[in-house]
Structure 1
């Protein structure tokens, strides 16, 4: 409050942007060159939303062999002990190229940092080396049917038994659960306190091959499966697979979501589509439109914002509000890119002559547009809806 009793907004809601060092810039070029060679060799075709939809375990292992998975995991746990900024440029280049990284993405993005922060030594030594080798894959067991973005309303229950806990409930929209080895499950370990809905929640590391686990696919309109519904029926979780402290699940999940919301996948999932759209315009097989330049400028701005959050995480500074801003602005831009490409390809996708790639180029754009349209509804939902995150931002800025 100021002297007049008026609530003021923080003057600096965002951490400072960190400049790339020569070492980090060299790493970026190394990764970019590697990906260009893989594309030319036909190892993969650039896609949209590939951190969610393109599962390629062999590609993940190849990245791991190069030291590009588990980069920030300390060497004593089988990682590479590199900086958040080094990891950031690697993930940016992978996303910008539309590489198939879904297999290791969640484990590398948020499971590993959460284990480092909240896990026991036994848990760290069991999972982190395998994550860094690209051999251990995780999902996230947060969302539930009818709960939306209100995680405090979870109905999955954990009951104390001899030697551990039994977990019962349903998780939904669980990416990769049919292929992953385990997931972090948020469950209510104590009756809900009407005065504090966030109390009594805990996290458990659930082996997805355990008795009592049933996984049902949620098939997309194009026939792909990456989402799942996971049913837990008295699934036993031993005490040594409790993540962190009993009753502190909400605090842990909030910290974990900072990694999920702030990464470059929140603004680069459709970058291959934007790049293809602009290139097709350059070859005069699409009509020029000023929004292409606007969205490219937005993407550059989001790059700097996301870089700033990565720097804050490396320094151990809180970045929840900034991460929510990146997520809201980034996913909105991703959807705008899809809308623009869809509109332009419908208006002039067959081309008007020009000098470029012609039919082959237009077919590639059409494929990317189709994928973008299918994925678009999820952009502003996953990781928290934009409506919920605007509330997070407002509270973080001291607004009411």
Structure 2
């Protein structure tokens, strides 16, 4: 990149200062702090050569890093041209990078279960499949990210993973070291899914212990950074994954997704009632496919009515604390179409009725103050 500029030759210090403003697109920290700047050479004619270490040779963001470095250095007064030479970190350098990010712990720990964690974790659950749980998860995450929050999604539906498609990504996670993985980023959200590791549409045929191990890797070995919110798209029902999540993330909150249909709401109650045993907090109920708005402005209740309110009321009675109905999402073909094309509705048409409800729910979940309401406490009344 050549340009006409001042005749004064820039200093190495000035170039390094400019590079301190370049952030690794996956780790979101300055490349100067991560040991990624190999060397800086300033030539008499004002040309600058910058050596940059990539974490791995197949780094998917090498072009972006090159462009960001070029742009930053070219803005330094006196620079006439910029050349970026890419190299790859050694095993020792990657180990040092991991230590700088994770510390010296021998085994990765789940940061979201640490006492000082400020990340709010939501487990999106449903009693049965087909209620739009994954569509709700993806659109909530993207809506939260659009508000400026740092958001992650764990596609914990190992058998029925669909989050990568709904976010329009075919990228694969980057493994920096044996026990450190960088998540994929799509639509402003960090994502991990077993679908990113399986070729094509290959089914996952695992039993409980394998499911537990995969979930543990997604939570502990992935470098999520400083998240504001983490959403887990759980499989339907109350099986192995729901139990594992309760063990690994005891402070996670449960969001129950249902449809208005009575049969679906009865099953959804079971998914929410797992909080009675796991002692997790129930954040609320979301009713999807509530009605179809017709051209004349009337509403057709395709799947009946009242299911979401019934689930919220039943769970409130069971828990002895209010479980709110957070919103009713109208039936909108565009919500399904956006999932198929990988373009979340809250981005492509934020004013659509379904998108507006999803954005409102996202705002409520991301701004609500912490508290103990609705959480099961492991206490026993003292005897007299």
Same fold? TM cut 0.5? no
Q: TM-score range by the shorter chain?
A: under 0.3
Structure with higher helix content: 1
The two structures have a TM-score, normalised by structure 1, of 0.24
In terms of Rg, which structure is larger?
A: 2
Relative contact order, higher structure (CA 8 A, sep 6+): 1
